[in-house]
Amino acid sequence: LYRIPGNNDDMLIVKALLDKQMKSVDVQTDSRLSDIYTITSLIKLFIRELPLPLITPEVHSELSELATNSSLPDHQKVSLTRKALRNLSDVHFDTLEFFVRHLHRVAQYSDVNMMTADNLALVFAPTLVSRDVKET
């Protein structure tokens, strides 16, 4: 699902429309949005073009330290992970939570869409976590 690119021309046209005036795009009738791969490509592009990744560099650093700490029991890692994620701004946290719930729903249908949790991680991990922050 997320590994197959959509029509690039359609994606760029819809992106430009969304950037200009989101309410002008009718997702029910716009034929450019009838292709699921164009929609998934738009989602990937949106996440990739955020000026700051959803998991900020500071939080990414905390999460990396937790992941490599083999002395912590799993229940403590879960608790500390939740605490680290709470260091995100409300906007980042809420968006990340919404997006992770979406990915969970996608993974529930992996027998149909071939997007297991591992596949989704391969597609999205690089764009969700720390990267060089764009100059504004």
User: For 91-122, how does the pLDDT look when each residue is reduced to its tens digit (9 = 90+)?
Assistant: 999 999 999 999 999 999 999 999 999 999 99
Q: Tell me the pLDDT tens digit for each residue of 4-60.
A: 999 999 899 888 888 888 777 777 777 877 888 989 999 999 999 999 999 999 999
| Residue bearing tokens 């197959």 | 4
**Predicted TM-score of the model (pTM):** 0.81
| Residue bearing tokens 């919404």 | 98
Handedness of CA 124, 125, 129, 133 (dihedral sign): negative
The pLDDT assigned to 66 comes to 93
Radius of gyration of the chain (CA): 17
Per-residue DSSP letter, 87: T
Say if residues 94 and 69 touch (Cβ distance below 8 Å): no
Band (130; pLDDT cuts 50, 70, 90) = low
The pLDDT assigned to 131 comes to 59
Number of CB atoms found within 10 A of residue 76's CB: 12
